[in-house]
A and B are shown apart, each in its own frame.
Chain A
């Protein structure tokens, strides 16, 4: 009977140790998976998003940077594991890229209830908005856009989301016409009625000022008139504005140029010749 207490053979011991290691590893894997599930529930229940900018976004326009839309949010990860995110977008028109490939970069939401800022800035350069191939403010150009979002959670779960869209740009000054009428002279001053006509095809209400000025041989000539516009989405606009100036400006061959004021900047719209 004492023979049963002798030491186990080496191969038997080795196989046993390996089996125990396998069981231990399996237990660790299961515990880790359970902890990821618990962490996901904690993350979802403790999710807290604040936006430092009003409404979470900010639109801006300058001649140097063009049109920019900045989004920013602070997100809190109350879970046990990090959440890694990466958001990318790109948009094209037939003339080329409308919004160059833009990404948030890899953002890691660190666990432990700390807030992480996610920032995203879309930029449309002025040269793209008012390109020689076609002014995007006037033409309802087709646009293709892609937004995709990749993320990973707890190192082992990967997920993604993608939106592919196509449609028309929705030009705010679609079919803009600026038609100078016949000049009339009275008391040494010449007045020209100019008819401004367009349709706001953008998804937003168009509000601001359109400037109209007579130009002669490329140089400003005569006064600049600001025409306030406030056009709801998908509605037309038609108004006649009188330009008054020296009769030397209001001659056949001169032109009327229109521009849209965005803050301190001015976006050229079109130029129409006098009849």
Chain B
């Protein structure tokens, strides 16, 4: 009995060896996106509503603010959904679009908050010897939101460039966004060394 002949060598390297990136699987991306969305719903919707209404209360007749529950709910949800979206689609061409949508939503939300960012107290009316008086006060902190619109605008520009890159050169960013890990690289080096019959480096 003679040994069977060895299998013929493959006509080309396995495709996985030529990949320049190490993309996570779609289920992993979706799980990350959902987790991020849930966290953002908590931090961008539930927490602000709770803080606002536990601090000032909707029934406080003296201290007024214009941040409605609906605004906080819709604004925070828009941020959460778009943010979850770009995390889910990070490995696809939809990433740039969701990233841009997220920055547009954030910029719009910050602008709306800035226009409403004023607390008013009173008017508190009282009488005094032979007369009546009313006292009122206000505190305007819109500039805080306008300041935060500066980094958001820069991030919006970045998202626009990413969208353009995804459309013009699909997949160009993937090797740098998802570089091959050291562990994977070593494994591939071993596989390649075994294939060509030399010991792996190191």
Whether A associates with B in a native complex is yes
Interface presence of A101 (CB below 8 A): no
- Docked Cα-Cα span, A203 to B129, in Å, equals 9
CB contacts (< 8 Å) of B123 on chain A: these are: 164
Q: Is the CB of B169 within 8 A of A15?
A: no
CB contacts (< 8 Å) of A15 on chain B: these are: 158-159, 161-162, 165, 173
- Docked Cα-Cα span, A203 to B130, in Å, equals 11
Interface string of A153-166 (1 = CB under 8 A from B): 00111111111111
Q: Is the CB of A22 within 8 A of B129?
A: no
CB contacts (< 8 Å) of B133 on chain A: these are: 163-167
Option from B128, B130, B141, B155 in Cβ contact (under 8 Å) with A19:
B155
In the complex, how many residues of chain A place their beta carbon closer than 8 angstroms to a beta carbon of chain B?
Answer: 37
Interface presence of A23 (CB below 8 A): yes
In the complex, number of A-B residue pairs with CB atoms less than 8 Å apart: 109
Which residue of B is nearest A11, CB measured?
B165
Option from A11, A14, A203 in Cβ contact (under 8 Å) with B169:
A11
Give the size category of B's interface with A: 35 or more
Q: With A9-B173, A15-B161, A170-B130 known to touch, is A4 a contact of B147 (CB < 8 Å)?
A: no
Q: Is the CB of B129 within 8 A of A29?
A: no
Nearest CB of chain B from residue A98's CB, rounded to whole Å: 14
CB contacts (< 8 Å) of B157 on chain A: these are: 18
Q: Is the CB of B152 within 8 A of A22?
A: yes
Interface presence of A38 (CB below 8 A): no
CB contacts (< 8 Å) of A4 on chain B: these are: 20, 175, 179-180
Which residue of A is nearest B128, CB measured?
A167
Q: Is the CB of B129 within 8 A of A163?
A: no
Name B13-38 residues within 8 Å CB distance of A. 20
CB contacts (< 8 Å) of A32 on chain B: these are: 147
Which residue of B is nearest A9, CB measured?
B172
- Docked Cα-Cα span, A139 to B158, in Å, equals 72
Which residue of B is nearest A149, CB measured?
B137
Q: With A11-B165, A11-B169 known to touch, is A163 a contact of B148 (CB < 8 Å)?
A: no
Name B60-106 residues within 8 Å CB distance of A. none
Option from B137, B151, B155, B165 in Cβ contact (under 8 Å) with A29:
B151
- Docked Cα-Cα span, A15 to B155, in Å, equals 9
Interface presence of B47 (CB below 8 A): no
Q: Is the CB of A19 within 8 A of B158?
A: yes
Q: Which 4 pairs across A and B sit closest by C-beta, in order of nearness?
A: A167-B131, A18-B158, A156-B143, A165-B133
A interface residues (Cβ-Cβ under 8 A, vs B): 1, 3-4, 8-9, 11-12, 14-16, 18-19, 21-26, 29, 32-33, 155-168, 170, 203
